[in-house]
Structure 1
Amino acid sequence: MLTGATQGMGRRLAHHLAARGAQLLLHGRARERLEAVADEVGARFPEAEVRLYRADFADLGQVRALADAVRAAEPRLDVLVNNAAVGGGVDPKVRETSHQGHELRFAVNHLAPYVLTRRLVPLLAASAPARVVNVASAGQAPVDLDDVMLEADYEGVRAYCRSKLALIMAGFDLSAGVARLGITVNALHPADLMDTPMVRQSGFAPAVSPDEGAGPVLRLVADPALDGVTGRYFDRFDERPAHTQAYDTRARARLAEITETLTGPYLGRAARPGTP
């Protein structure tokens, strides 16, 4: 399953996965863009199996419904790639919020994949060995645990960097909770300044093609050398340390407590780590 499959690296990654013979569960926010990607993949790879799932990650209710739809319809799930994200915004000085009223970057880039992954743990465990790949960023900034919603001194790119570090921190915690179920959880920075709508919208000059980022993601998806490797952060193809806050157990525990409080209504008992 690939989230954020309708543009940028996600769109290219769908093609690369289809070329490898993967059965694709593609997620996007807009039905017409999802169908366009499915048509592209089908034209290039007529034998590819593609199924489409729509949800707006700015609404945790839709994220929960997405996970439940996948669990109801799919017999197995070998890999979940959490790729959907929002960048710094057209105007980084404007603080945007999600359907639940949370700061938008924190909601879409951290809370949404947290809910999705947790609710898909039972299906991943039933399909083990299985992998979760969190598409993060080398742009990481420490999470202000006293102001995770960035109600003071807001700036969009900084909000993005904090949300990506939160994604990494939560992944490290989850990796320990689901290891005995045969699920690995890793994060990566796929490439620098890919030519994607998110990069351009955030005001950066693109430096490389989205295909440059697809290779490192594909490695975490399928490389047999990474069987059993979990709780790591990779900068493209190389394992690197993430921001120091990611290894601060007290900070991670506090972030986990905050995250659980914000997402609790959308999790449910069956989605607790280690409980298929």
Structure 2
Amino acid sequence: MTDRERIVLITGATSGLGRELSHVLSTEPGRLILHGRDPDKLKTLRNELSHSQAEIDTVTADLAEQAEVHQLADDVTGLTEYLSVLVNNAGIGKGRSDARELSPDGYELRLAVNHLAPFALTLRLLPLLEAGAPSRVVNVASAAQQPIDFDDLHLAREYSGSRAYAQSKLAMIATGFHLAERLPPRLVTVNSLHPATLMPTAMVREGYGYSVDDLDTGVAAVKRLIDSPELEGVSGRYFSRTEQSRAIAAAYSPEVQLRLWDISQELTDTRL
């Protein structure tokens, strides 16, 4: 990181891990751009951070809809000339039931929110990240990963919430690896992580009804990818909590990465 003011964009900042991370980063100098879907929750969060050291901006978008993802990119571009860090944190879990859901664009909902939204947002914000170099992209993924069925990308057959969630996180990780190969790490790094296991969040309560790790564990893991000097220039890696780890084998397949990349570009109408 340079001595220039740090500007961090966090998606999904109004609850769970994103909210706790926002509170922690607000105690440090810099600027936070906090995203949420609900304007009232964003207003509440902003009030909670009214005495923070960081300057706070908020942006609203429903990441299930590609038009709103692109508008979010435009809104962020209107707020700042550069970004130091993009934390792709927003997501939805496996859900309480196995009822298949589609996004407004007709995409499987978990693929749309957990993968296609951060994919498009990251590519749209690359000019800001390059302007803020050296900058970092942090993809909040999961240890729950499952290979993609390219013949049934939107899971019209044999749907389950767990499968949809795991495939969406695999897509996030695999395309993150591919993006990392295409960007000079001295300018922008791209890493993914499993921050913690079943933290006490609304997503986890809905899907499981119990928790394992606390939020502090997840915050520490994400914060390390945000600002650890040890990770300067380190890109295209997967971490479990604070340790470098391995995603499932499919995430490292060049064929899988490129196929996902091409499909994601087409579905989001976004190009690098």
Give the TM-score normalised by the residue count of structure 1. 0.93
Between the aligned partners of 2:32 and 2:17, the Cα distance in structure 1 is 15
Between the aligned partners of 2:131 and 2:146, the Cα distance in structure 1 is 35
Between the aligned partners of 1:48 and 1:122, the Cα distance in structure 2 is 23
Between the aligned partners of 1:195 and 1:39, the Cα distance in structure 2 is 23
1:13 matched residue in structure 2: 21
1:51 matched residue in structure 2: 57
1:244 matched residue in structure 2: 249
Misfit runs of 4+, over 2 Å: none
1:207 matched residue in structure 2: 212
Alpha carbons 2:33, 2:59 under 8 Å: kept: yes
How many Å apart are 1:21 and its aligned residue? 2.1
Note if 1:60 corresponds to 2:56. no
Matches within 5 A, 1:28-177: 28-43=36-51, 45=52, 47-91=53-97, 93-177=98-182
1:257 is paired with a residue whose SS is helix
| Greater Cα offset, 68-77 or 94-103 | 68-77
Between the aligned partners of 1:127 and 1:172, the Cα distance in structure 2 is 21
How many Å apart are 1:128 and its aligned residue? 0.4
Task: Report the AA paired with residue 246 of structure 2.
Answer: P
Aligned-residue sequence identity (percent) comes to: 46
Give the TM-score normalised by the residue count of structure 2. 0.94
Between the aligned partners of 1:232 and 1:114, the Cα distance in structure 2 is 17
1:219 matched residue in structure 2: 224
How many Å apart are 1:181 and its aligned residue? 6.7
Alpha carbons 1:9, 1:213 under 8 Å: kept: yes
How many Å apart are 1:48 and its aligned residue? 2.4
Alpha carbons 2:185, 2:235 under 8 Å: kept: no
Alpha carbons 2:217, 2:241 under 8 Å: kept: no
How many Å apart are 1:90 and its aligned residue? 2.3
Task: Report the AA paired with residue 257 of structure 1.
Answer: D
How many Å apart are 1:204 and its aligned residue? 4.2
2:258 matched residue in structure 1: 253
Between the aligned partners of 2:209 and 2:115, the Cα distance in structure 1 is 22
Between the aligned partners of 2:54 and 2:234, the Cα distance in structure 1 is 28
Alpha carbons 1:193, 1:207 under 8 Å: kept: yes
Alpha carbons 1:193, 1:204 under 8 Å: kept: no
Between the aligned partners of 2:225 and 2:135, the Cα distance in structure 1 is 11
How big is each residue's C-alpha offset from its partner over 1:174-196, in whole Å with a ceiling of 9 and x where there is no partner?
A: 11112267000000000011000
How many Å apart are 1:209 and its aligned residue? 2.1
1:133 is paired with a residue whose SS is strand
Paired positions, count:
264
Task: Report the AA paired with residue 151 of structure 2.
Answer: D
Root-mean-square deviation over aligned CA pairs: 1.2
Task: Report the AA paired with residue 52 of structure 1.
Answer: T
In structure 2, the CA distance between the partners of 1:22 and 1:204, relative to structure 1 (3 Å rule), is farther
